[in-house]
Amino acid sequence: MFGKKSRNQAVVRTLVGGDTRVHGDIEFTGGFHVDGYVKGNVEVANDELATLSISENGCVEGSVVVPNLILNGTVKGDVRVTERVELGPRARVIGNVQYKLIEMAIGAEVNGKLIHEMDAAARRPLAEPPKPELVPPVKAAGE
């Protein structure tokens, strides 16, 4: 899980270093890694393979909307992951997590709701179950 390279992890193109503090919203493509502090919303601009990774020293204070998230730090805000989220043993989310696929290590913490987002195909209503046939009451002999 967390020692292995993630299957569809994007190449890190953007880095917020450990001694860096960013105030403002961030929109990115490819890979984005946070070792420092971001106060603002983080989201992806038209990249279905983009990945946000936050180290155990990293913190994002704002909402996060990304296809893939590898979290071992802190997010103070709601998280929406359209593909896959990995919560490491030091991960902490103070807010709701909306996800399609989640992997959670022992020690990870979510202080909010876990909301599963299904595929469009899975959201289709099931066919109505057949209605039971009405059977006329049985008449006793002599009626």
Residue 61 lies in a domain: yes
pLDDT range class, residue 1, cuts 50, 70, 90: very low
pTM, two decimals, is 0.77
Q: Residues 65-116: pLDDT tens digits?
A: 999 999 999 999 999 999 999 999 999 999 999 999 999 999 999 999 999 9
Task: Note whether residue 7 is domain-resident.
Answer: no
Q: Is residue 100 part of a domain?
A: yes
Q: How far apart are CA 49 and CA 52, in angstroms?
A: 10
Is residue 43 classed exposed, middle or buried when 0-12, 13-18 and 19+ CB atoms within 10 A define those classes? middle
Domain contains 130: no
Look up the domain containing 107 and give its range: 12-119
Three-class SS state of 127: coil
